[in-house]
Amino acid sequence: MSRAGSWRIAAYLVSLVAICSEGCSRSPTRISPAKIDPERVGAAAVAAYDRDGDGKLSKLELKKCPALLASLAAYDTNNDQMIDAGEIAAHLKTWEATRVGITAAPFVVRLDGRPLAGAMVLLEPEPFLEGVVMPASAETNESGMAGPSMSAVNLPKGVRHGVQPGIYKIKLTHPKQSLPSKFNEETEIGLVVEPLYDAFNPPVFELKSK
C-alpha cells in the first residue's frame, strides 16, 4: 500500500474534506466518538483470529484481519511481530483523546497498474466492532479514488459525508467486470481509519488480479 498524489486527486480531496468539515463545524456536539470499549475489543479481536491459542495474533493469523496486518507497526509496541489484546486496547485508548467521531477517509484503488474506476467499495467493520462502528460505502471515480461514507441515516444531523474511526475490511465489486474473491468474499484488503486520518495523503491499494 503506497500513497497517492495528483492535481485531480487533490481537487477531489479538497471537496470531500470540505463537505465533512462543513457539517462537522455546524454541529460539533453531535459528533461524538463511537463507544468503543478498548479492553473488550482487544480481547474480542484476539478471540476471533487467534488460531493457535497463544493469546497473540501472528502475521499469518492477521491475514484474516488485513487492516491490522497492514497497521502491524502501529500496534506492535514490543516489536515481536505479533499483536495481543493489550496492544490493541492501548492503541484504541489513544483514539479517545482525539475526541474525533467522524472523518474523511479517502483512498485509491488500482488494479493491475491502472485505476479501478466504477467499483463499488464497502468498508465493513471487523466483527469485534459490529454494532459500534457503522459500515461505509462509495464508488471509485476515474482516478480510482473512493471517498466512502456512512449512509445518510447514520450520519449526524448537518453532516453530509464521513466515516467513523474504526478497523475495516474493504470489499470490492464491479458492475462490469468480475473481481477475484480475494477482493470481496475472501478479502485480503483492509483499512484502519485513525481519528486523525491523513485525508490529503490517501493510501493507494495496488491490487493484482492474478
In the chain, the percentage of residues whose pLDDT exceeds 90 is 78
CA distance 131 to 29: 21
> What are the residue ranges spanned by the domains of the chain?
1-210
pLDDT, one tens digit per residue, over 164-173 is 999 999 999 9
Q: Is the pLDDT score of 56 beyond 80?
A: yes
pTM flag (> 0.75):
yes
Weakest mean pLDDT among 17-26, 50-59, 191-200: 17-26
What single string gives the DSSP state of each residue in 26-56? Answer: H-GGG-PPP---HHHHHHHHHHHH-SS-SSE
Residue pair 135/122 in contact (Cβ under 8 Å)? The answer is yes
pLDDT tens, 69-79? 999 999 999 99
**pLDDT band of 11, cuts 50, 70, 90:** very low
Q: What is the mean pLDDT of the chain?
A: 89
pLDDT number for residue 6:
55
Joined together, the cell numbers standing for residue 162 give 464521513
pLDDT in tens, 121-153: 999 999 999 889 999 999 999 999 999 999 999
Q: Which residues pair with 205 in a beta bridge?
A: 109
Question: Residue 73: what pLDDT?
Answer: 96
CA trace torsion 106, 192, 29, 146 (10° rounding):
20
Q: How far apart are CA 17 and CA 179, in angstroms?
A: 29
Q: How far, in Å, are 88, 125, 126 from residue 79 at the CA level?
A: 14, 26, 24
The predicted pLDDT at position 197 comes to: 96
* pLDDT score of 151: 94
Give the per-residue pLDDT at 7. Answer: 43
Strands (E), the chain: 2-3, 56-57, 83-84, 107-111, 114-115, 120-125, 136-139, 145-146, 166-173, 190-193, 203-207
Confidence class for position 31, pLDDT limits 50, 70, 90: confident
Dihedral sign computed on CA atoms, order 98, 102, 108, 111: positive
pLDDT for the residue 209: 93
Residue 192's alpha-carbon distances to 74, 86, 94, in angstroms, are 10, 17, 14
Are 205 and 110 within 8 A, CB to CB? yes
Residue 23: is its pLDDT beyond 60? no
**CATH superfamily, region 1-210:** Immunoglobulins (2.60.40.10)
pLDDT of residue 1: 64
Contact predicate 156/102, CB 8 Å = yes
Does position 9 have pLDDT exceeding 60, yes or no? Answer: no
| CA distances to 12, 61, 104, 131 from 146, in Å | 10, 28, 11, 24
